[in-house]
Structure 1
Amino acid sequence: MVQETTMLERAVGPTEKGALTHNGDKGYFFRNKTLTTSTCNPYIKTFKAMEYAARGPVILRAMQIEAELRSGVKKPFRQVIKANLGDAHAMGQKPLSFVRQVLALVACPNLLETTHYFPDDVKLKARSILDQCRGGSVGAYTDSRGLEVVRKCVADYIERRDGIPSDPENIVVTAGASEGIRSCLKLFKGVEGEEKRSGVLVPVPEYPLYSATLGEYNIAKINYYLDESDGWGLSRVELERALTEGRKVAEPRAIVVINPGNPTGQVLTRSNMEQVIRFAYDERLVILADEVYQDNVYEDAEFVSFKKVLSQMPAPFNGVELVSFYSCSKGFVCECGLRGAYFECTNMDPEVKSILLATAAAKLCPTVLGQAAVACSVDPPRPGDPSYAAFRYEKDNILNGLGERARLVTEVFNSIPLVSCSPVQGALYAFPNVQLPQSAINAAIRLGQEPDVFYALELLEETGICVVPGSGIGQKEGTFHFRTTILPETSQLVDMLDRFKIFHLNFIKKYATLET
């Protein structure tokens, strides 16, 4: 036994009591895991808060159903409609020719000289990017903030959009808007030993990235509720209520505003934006303006950037600190997989900006193909350019189709008993409110599920429609919602809405009968 123990110790090293587990079937010992949930960073575990919406039971079951359909299992439907994610290309949207042609040339520069297929403006754009790449290759590292030519394109775009100057030195290109948002939120991380944590005001309903990231950085999330009865608008009274509650546990430092809204699809009015700016000034808050859906605005609404409204405010309100985010994953480009985005700093302390740039340098650089996509998104073909006619046709086709579908989902949801939906003015989502019978709520509770998860799972099983339950995104207590995209092509969307209506009416009838 002594010899056996010695051999074991030589195999696995010195061990403490309880550090080894014996595998009876195989007849050997193995060392227990070093990294466990009790030894890993406690704050990183808060990413599980995001799991419910992004990879929760509804989405996981949808993946299982897809596998069952492939194996020949019979269902009441032929395919799962993935209405849970804002991924346009996955839903059949075709990429823009101009963007993909530029990407083809920067990825394979010899095509510049060997083919006449590509229009001259495509070649010019590709050369402008390659000229700033070390070695003329997108495989080389760039400046950590992004190529100067890309940041100059962004600055020119902002000037055209807002009519006010923009400095490329205030712009950072990132591998997706999420990375930029995380980099900026990290600035608010509190110091160990402080009496109160830093806090950030976040809209509810929200995009779960904020909850997960704030949890990871041990920053308090302070909820302020959007007003569903006012088209998911903002109210100064609600902001002050949230701030008062938040100050009991944290020191508020920033406010997040998502405009156009995800998941709510509203476009903020100028009056709402001015309220936010005055509130931020009064309470010494930095505004983090998530404006990634700024190109997705349909009729009866107009997108105005926070930077533009800020610049038109009188002093001292025009001095509020602002960070604005943009992504080529959305809009009419929708190149989600390329991970191209940027943020712009306005009125930021120069020393803080240098710290932010230093953190960007630690990541070396954003993907260069993503940077090229950003350059194409903000500086597309203009009238007179060889690619303009095709680009304009493709862009208008995409945005007109999205506008048609935004109106369609609003109209259909509001025609169904016990369902209501605020107008989808922008972004890619609807967030309908569903009134559930008490018997359905009780059935969910017996299963240990949130009622809207219970509803969404039955919807999936009977129709193949996959949506995100509101409880995974945030909603007022006692209300039930789900998020669905407007991305399915019109014919598929009509079919989806027809399936939904039949399911919902049967669901209400089934559970209302149980109450009698």
Structure 2
Amino acid sequence: MTTMRLLSSVINRPNLRVRQFSASASSFSAYKSADGRGTLFSPTSTPETRTTRTMATQVKRCLNMEDLNPNVKVMEYAVRGPLVIRAGEIEKELEKGVKKPFTEIIRANIGDCHAMGQIPITFIRQVLALVAYPALLEDPSFPKDAKERACGILGGCRGGSVGSYTESPGIELIRRHVAEYITRRDGGIASDWQNIVLSAGASDGIKNILKLLICDINGKQPGVMIPIPQYPLYSASLAEFNMQQVGYYLDESRNWGLDIPELQRSITEARKTCNPRALVVINPGNPTGQVLSRQNIEEIIKFAHKEKLFLLADEVYQDNVYAPDSKFHSFKKVLTEMGEPYNKMELASFMSCSKGYMGECGLRGGYAEVINMCPKVKAMYLKCISAMLCPTVLGQACLDVIVNPPHEGEPSYEQFMKEKKAVLDSLKVRAKMVVDTFNSFEGFKCNTVQGAMYAFPQITLPPKAIEAAKQAKQPADVFYAFQLLENTGVCIVPGSGFGQQPGTFHFRTTILPQVDKLKTMLEKFQTFHQEFIKKYK
């Protein structure tokens, strides 16, 4: 049977989600137009640009800042905020020949693996090529196992095309493969494919769960507990949904450990003004890079049960564990093994194609496994998802390859394992390189990057630098980050975008630049920091 006939037989079997940011006062200046409406200008914009924009604000519009959704005005997304806007402007200046003390922007602000030079995994791209252009199924240069994966995916698509809509929770075959993957990962603890909902990246899946919690109870706004420092998706989404952010501080002195007394302090304080309904845990941590121990996870589960909180386990970095004494434990596995009453708790856990060893950020594939949800609520959840029609189908296909990779004995197995190992081994080396280098800087303190893709060092800034930041009307860490960008081309994210203990300053940087570029970046960083300290000491 030819490959095309195989595909035809599979198809004919009868049984077979805008990141946004807000311009902060730290990097933009506000001006008043003739009609009194506020207009935001970049400090680098020209007078001509300002004139044009001011004229534009004089036009009477249906939607103005005064009647804009107030939740949109207050939301911020630090990893794509004003620093990144300025980095883009500098790139354009470099293209025009403007002289700078550097020749390129190094974007260490976001976990975009392929943008930082990571080579795509061959098998993933082979299957994606085949599903996108099925005529390639006749090409003998593609391995048999890649063609079989592609035929399976296409068999789950209406009309045998990834250009068609799928079921709103995703293609059934892929959801079944996700459940099988989770079962293998958790040592045989069963996963029901009907609890799997595919999404456009983990971010979309997380927001879909948060939406279910938007309900004032007894006159109190809903609250969600999130770690501080946190990934800005959470603060941005909570602001967008008009939900209260309930921060709990991770303990930097214990490698960003999670203390139960701190959780208790946080929820007790929050209940004075809101109704905490859910607890978010990011493991491995972003931006902090810690990996939770099993004992710590058990303590967190017990706390959530006692306080009647819906658990959200953000586990997108589960493949990214580097420290020899660290190991990933899924909340689903621990919760189940703890037995009653904990195995009856509501839990949503999330995974993505964007991180791990694959780094397929732009394809926007992910899943949520939602267990123990009230059946009536689950029906509403699925109804809500259906309004978005379906997740991107190429993202679903990518996820399928990740949860159903080449098996031992298949043609692509050895190459796949070699490429996967090479990526993770290199990330391990880079994690250590970043930590060791930062800890050699005056005034820097950086915890071990046990997992994920980031370092979150604390920096002690001289009083004169803090005063200079005040004069510039910027938080001190923002001031430092802008100075770094303008002098070196290195783009990082200030710690204030993630949250930090008052009086401390941090920043997040990825460990993703390839080794040679990472070495260059760290050398630039060191030279800049020495000059910065000398200037303000």
Task: Give me the TM-score of the superposition, normalised by structure 2.
Answer: 0.88
Distance 1:57 1:223 in 2: 24
Distance 2:420 2:492 in 1: 27
2:248 pairs with 224, 227, 249, which one? 224
User: 1:331-370, aligned counterparts within 5 Å?
Assistant: 331-370=356-395
Tell me how far 1:194 sits from its aligned partner.
4.2
Partner secondary structure for residue 395 of structure 1? helix
Contact 1:325 1:344 in 2 (8 A): yes
1:37 counterpart residue number: 65
User: 1:314-329, aligned counterparts within 5 Å?
Assistant: 314-329=339-354
1:140 counterpart residue number: 164
2:501 counterpart residue number: 476
User: 1:290-305, aligned counterparts within 5 Å?
Assistant: 290-300=314-324, 301-305=326-330
Aligned length: 483
**Residue 260, structure 1, aligned to residue 284, structure 2:** yes
Please give the per-residue CA displacement for 1:227-284, whole angstroms capped at 9, x wherever unaligned: 0001001001100010011101111110000001110011111121111100000000
Tell me how far 1:31 sits from its aligned partner.
5.9
Distance 1:506 1:45 in 2: 37
Structure 1: state its 5+ residue gaps. Answer: 1-17, 24-29
2:524 counterpart residue number: 499
Paired residue type of 1:486: I
2:11 counterpart residue number: none
Contact 1:172 1:343 in 2 (8 A): yes
Q: Once the two structures are aligned, what percentage of the paired residues are identical?
A: 56
Please give the per-residue CA displacement for 1:354-410, whole angstroms capped at 9, x wherever unaligned: 111111111111111100000011111111110111111111111110000001111
Distance 1:505 1:360 in 2: 51
Distance 1:183 1:410 in 2: 35
1:119 counterpart residue number: 143
Tell me how far 1:58 sits from its aligned partner.
2.0
**Residue 168, structure 1, aligned to residue 193, structure 2:** yes
Paired residue type of 1:44: V
Partner secondary structure for residue 287 of structure 2? coil
Contact 1:434 1:480 in 2 (8 A): yes
Paired residue type of 1:368: V
2:462 counterpart residue number: 437
RMSD: 1.7
Structure showing greater radius of gyration is 1
Paired residue type of 2:170: G
2:482 counterpart residue number: 457
**Residue 418, structure 1, aligned to residue 446, structure 2:** no
Please give the per-residue CA displacement for 1:423-477, whole angstroms capped at 9, x wherever unaligned: 0011110001000001100110011001001111111122111100111111111
**Residue 208, structure 1, aligned to residue 232, structure 2:** yes
User: 1:11-410, aligned counterparts within 5 Å?
Assistant: 32-47=60-75, 49-50=76-77, 53-113=78-138, 115-163=139-187, 164-191=189-216, 194-300=218-324, 301-410=326-435
Distance 1:280 1:37 in 2: 40
Tell me how far 1:78 sits from its aligned partner.
1.5
Paired residue type of 1:95: P
Distance 1:141 1:355 in 2: 21
Tell me how far 1:110 sits from its aligned partner.
1.6
Higher mean alpha-carbon deviation, 454-463 vs 227-236, is at 454-463
Distance 2:89 2:59 in 1: 34
Distance 2:369 2:340 in 1: 21
2:31 counterpart residue number: none
Tell me how far 1:297 sits from its aligned partner.
0.9
